[in-house]
Structure formats: C-alpha cells, structure tokens
Amino acid sequence: MISDLSEASIRHPIHGLLAAADLGLTRTDPPSALVGRVVVLYDDHGTRVTHRFGTDTVTWTRSPGREDDVSASGEGRYEAFRIADDLFYVQFRHTQTSAESVSLTLDFTSGHALSVITLISDPAPGGPRVRQRFATARIEGIESTMLPPAPSTALTGRRVLWEYGPDRVYEHIYLGPRQYTWQCLAGSEEGLADTDECTAYELRPGIFLFAWREKALPCAAVTVTDHRDIRSIRSRGVLFGLDESRQGLAHFTLDGFGRLIGTTVYPAEFDPAR
C-alpha cells in the first residue's frame, strides 16, 4: 500500500481532511490478485491501454484505435483496493503529466472497467477548475453479456453520515444526478457546508463510483462506495487537486465509513431522478 501517491508534499488540509499519511483508517498492501497481472482495456474504437501491475508501480501503454491518433506510455506508483469479489479500485498519477490523476474500477466478473481522468485545468469562470472525464471499457479476455457501468440516480434522496476519523465527520445529501450537498459535523470545518457537482455510476447492485468536483477549492474526488449494507457503508478513493496555497499538488487517499441517516421520497412529478 502506498501512503503518498505523489512526490508533491502535502502541507495543507483540503476540505478539512488530513494529509494522506493521517487520513487512511485502514492500510493494506495492494491485492495480490493484481500484483504481476497484465490488464488490457479496450473501447469501441479499438483503443487499447495495457496495464502491468507490479508490487507498487504500474506501467501502461496506450495504443490508439479508430478516430484516435494519440499514443502514450508511462509508469507511476499505484494504490489498489479490493471492493468485492473480483472487483477492484485502482488509483495512480501519470508521472509525465503531473496535472492528471487516474482512477480505474476493474470488474473481472463482468469484464467491464470504468476510468476517470481527473484533470487540473486553467482557471475559468462558471465551473470547477478541476474537471473529470468518465469512460467505460472492456477487459480483454473476459467474455460477458452484462451491461457496462452506467450513470445512476439511485443515490438521489439519501443522506449519509461519513466518518473519516473520530474528528472528521461529514454529512452528504444526494440532491440529484448532478449535485450533492456536504456539511461538516465535526472537525476543522464544523458548521461549514456547500453544494457541488457530482457524478455517480453503478458498478454492481449497491456499489457505486461517486465523484465530485469542488468549486470553492481547486480539487475533485473519486470514490467507490459500497451501499449494500446501509448501516455500514464503506468508501475508498482519492482527492486530487491543488493545495490551499494553489502552488502545490495534493493527491491523497480517502477512506471512510458511513451509515444511512435518512431518505427523502419525492412525489413522482418532482423527483430529481426522473
């Protein structure tokens, strides 16, 4: 397991959370099922990305397909979590492009993958500075008739209490498919709240990739949240962006425990998920 995924020093808390070395509640080594494995992802255009996982580094090579002329390769330190049987979450940074972070979900049962590229862009009015791109892919060598991960509205209306440690507690209110509200209930931001952009994909029944993009701070997060037991929800992921000085990079692990504390049931004609 890699405590610090980047060579950039992290000196400032972002969103009231501690730096990587302090934030993780449970630390483990990368799943042995990934170490030494070669995973090839391909899309409908024939673009292929080959990942070779070592003990703590991953090398990747991108071979362009139709309507694609970008070839690339690189290596980076990675962190991986086993979410469920044959379902893994992987996160790493491109060493060649410091302003990009990569998150992957790999489902070796369904044969599907979901990638999220988090990119620090130039400041622009009217939107978050840190943006995200989502793309599905197939895992080579696995036959499946299952549907790929898709945007989901299943979280709409839920209120979840998240604990990132004894003194880092937040409530998330999932307003709809594109917005959620957070408020800090304990910690350095206690009493503060905001509403930010979000995106949710359902990976398996009850398991979601949930990503958000902050507007007040130049950062974004990608998490995989397991809601199968609403009394014991688990979340793992990464927060990436600029630190509070706006000069250095922050890239650290989020590791939280949650529980459902409420659900809003909307009249059908006003349901934000409709």
Tell me the C-alpha distance between 251 and 211, whole Å.
Answer: 15
Domain 24-146 annotated CATH 2.30.30.110: no
pLDDT number for residue 99:
86
The pLDDT value recorded for residue 10 is 30
Domain positions in the chain: 24-146, 151-270
> Which residue do the tokens 């990675």 mark?
78
pLDDT per residue as tens digits for the range 123-164: 777 778 899 999 999 999 999 889 999 999 999 999 999 999
102 neighbors 92 (Cβ within 8 angstroms): yes
Q: What average pLDDT does range 158-179 have in this prediction?
A: 95
The rounded distance, in Å, linking the Cα atoms of 252 and 244 is 14
Q: Cβ distance 36 to 59 under 8 Å?
A: no
Tokens of 7: 């060579």
- State the Cα–Cα distance between residues 101 and 95, nearest whole angstrom: 9
With tokens 């209110």, the residue in question is 173
What is the arithmetic mean of pLDDT over 19-25? 42
Does 73 have pLDDT greater than 90?
Answer: no
Q: Is the pLDDT of residue 12 over 70?
A: no
- Range of weakest confidence among 21-25, 134-138, 148-152, 246-250: 21-25
**What is the model's pLDDT at position 5?**
33
> 151-270 sits in which CATH class?
mainly beta
| Residue 41 token pair | 């992802």
pTM of the model: 0.88
Each residue of 28-72: pLDDT tens digit?
Answer: 566 888 999 999 999 998 999 999 999 999 999 999 888 777 788
User: Per-residue pLDDT for 16 more than 70?
Assistant: no
Q: Which of 202, 253, 198, 252 is nearest to 227 (CA)?
A: 202
Percent of the chain with pLDDT over 70: 89
Give residue 248's pLDDT band: very low, low, confident or very high (50, 70, 90).
Answer: confident
| Residue 270 phi, psi dihedral angles, 5° rounding | -115, 10
Q: What is the mean pLDDT of residues 207-231?
A: 95
- What pLDDT, on a 0 to 100 scale, did the predictor assign at position 7? 31
Report the SS3 class of residue 270.
Answer: helix
Provide the b/e sequence for 232-255 (b: ≥16 CB within 10 Å): ebbbbbbbbbbbeeeeebbbbbbb
CATH topology of 24-146 equal to that of 151-270?
A: yes
In 70-129, which ranges are E strands? Answer: 72-84, 87-93, 100-107, 112-120
d(CA 177, CA 197): 9
C-alpha distances (whole Å) from 17 to each of 27, 56, 189 are: 17, 25, 9
Q: Is the pLDDT confidence value at 232 over 60?
A: yes
H or E, element range at 20: helix 20-23
How many angstroms separate the CA atoms of 274 and 177, rounded?
10
Classify 223 as helix, strand or coil: strand
